[in-house]
């Protein structure tokens, strides 16, 4: 049985569908509960939805409680919900407000911690479990914008390692996926020019799709990953393989 937070979004719904196709029963948690119910109805097979406000610890606890009430156990937690701060709100250290910083960490880090905190007792009772956290390539290096988002995603990577270190010997694995630019339906509809520039930037001849991330969620959740714990995979079309564009072009700086 799997919980997918942010399960109504592009990456979350793809993960829910992939896990269901592999035989998991899924609980799709999202603040947009109507959209989550639509995804659950499309999946069928016992899939269901629950409202989740990632800013509210009580809502996160209720999500886990609902999973146990409906299904009796919890095997997989895919922390997928994210907060990006809004257009123009998350930029540089001087320009980004303390409120924007706190909001990013509340959703992108604190909600992962709280969901994990409430999921762990049920996984420990079973003697096994897989937690898959979605971070971002923005958490692997600096940039000229998104200081709050990128810093929060860096925290997710190391939080996953702490969970792996503290509970791995008790059968709980915790791994991280760092997506790069992904062609979600929302981007296709609202930012097609961004997708064109993205294709020019990556080092593969195609755009990343939600199913590429979903495949990694399925792998980390499976018995095939039984010896994979505390790992981080960057799924970004090769962006993380190149240090900087100017170095890729041989234009070394003094």
The three-state (H, E, C) secondary structure of the chain, written as one string? CEEEECCCCHHHHHHHHHHHHCCCCEEEEECCHHHHHHHHHHHCCCCEEEECCCCCHHHHHHHHHHHHHHHCCCCEEEECCCCCCCCCCCCCCCCCCHHHHHHHHHHHHHHHHHHHHHHHHHHHHHCCEEEEEECCHHHCCCCCCCHHHHHHHHHHHHHHHHHHHHHHHHCEEEEEEEECCECCHHHHHHCHHHHHHHHHHCCCCCCECHHHHHHHHHHHHCHHHCCCCCCEEEECCCHHHCCCHHHHCCCCCC
Which residue positions in the chain have pLDDT lower than 50?
246-254
C-alpha–C-alpha distance, residues 241 and 237, integer Å: 9
Catalytic residue flag (residue 162): no
CA 116 from chain center: how many Å?
13
* pLDDT at site 250: 44
Among 118, 149, 167, 219, the active-site one is 149
Which residues make Cβ contacts (< 8 Å) with residue 106, sequence separation at least 6?
54, 55, 83
* Domains within the chain, CATH numbers bracketed: 2-238 (3.40.50.720)
- Give the span between the Cα atoms of 4 and 11, in whole angstroms: 10
**pTM of the prediction?**
0.93
Where do we find the tokens 């035989």? 23
The pLDDT value recorded for residue 164 is 98
């Amino acid at each position: 049985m799997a919980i997918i937070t942010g399960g109504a979004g592009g990456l979350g719904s793809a993960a829910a569908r992939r896990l269901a196709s592999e035989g998991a029963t899924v609980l799709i948690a999202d603040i947009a509960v109507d959209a989550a119910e639509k995804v659950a109805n499309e999946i069928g097979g016992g899939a269901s939805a629950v409202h989740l406000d990632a800013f509210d610890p009580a809502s996160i606890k209720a999500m886990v409680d609902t999973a146990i009430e409906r299904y009796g156990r919890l095997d997989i937690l895919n922390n997928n919900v994210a907060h990006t701060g809004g257009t123009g709100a998350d930029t540089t250290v001087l320009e980004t407000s303390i409120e924007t910083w706190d909001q990013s960490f509340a959703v992108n880090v604190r909600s992962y911690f709280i969901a994990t905190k409430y999921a762990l007792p049920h996984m420990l009772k079973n003697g096994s479990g897989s937690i898959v956290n979605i971070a971002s390539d923005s958490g692997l290096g600096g940039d000229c914008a998104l200081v709050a988002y990128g810093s929060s995603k860096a925290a997710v990577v190391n939080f996953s390692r702490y969970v792996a270190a503290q509970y791995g010997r008790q059968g709980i694995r915790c791994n991280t996926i760092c997506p790069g630019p992904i062609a979600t339906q929302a981007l296709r509809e609202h930012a097609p020019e961004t997708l064109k520039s993205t294709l020019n930037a990556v080092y593969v001849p195609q755009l990343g799709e939600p199913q590429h991330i979903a495949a990694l969620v399925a792998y980390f959740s499976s018995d095939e990953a039984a010896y994979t714990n505390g790992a981080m995979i960057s799924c970004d079309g090769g962006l993380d393989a190149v240090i900087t564009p100017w170095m890729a072009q041989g234009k070394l700086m003094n």
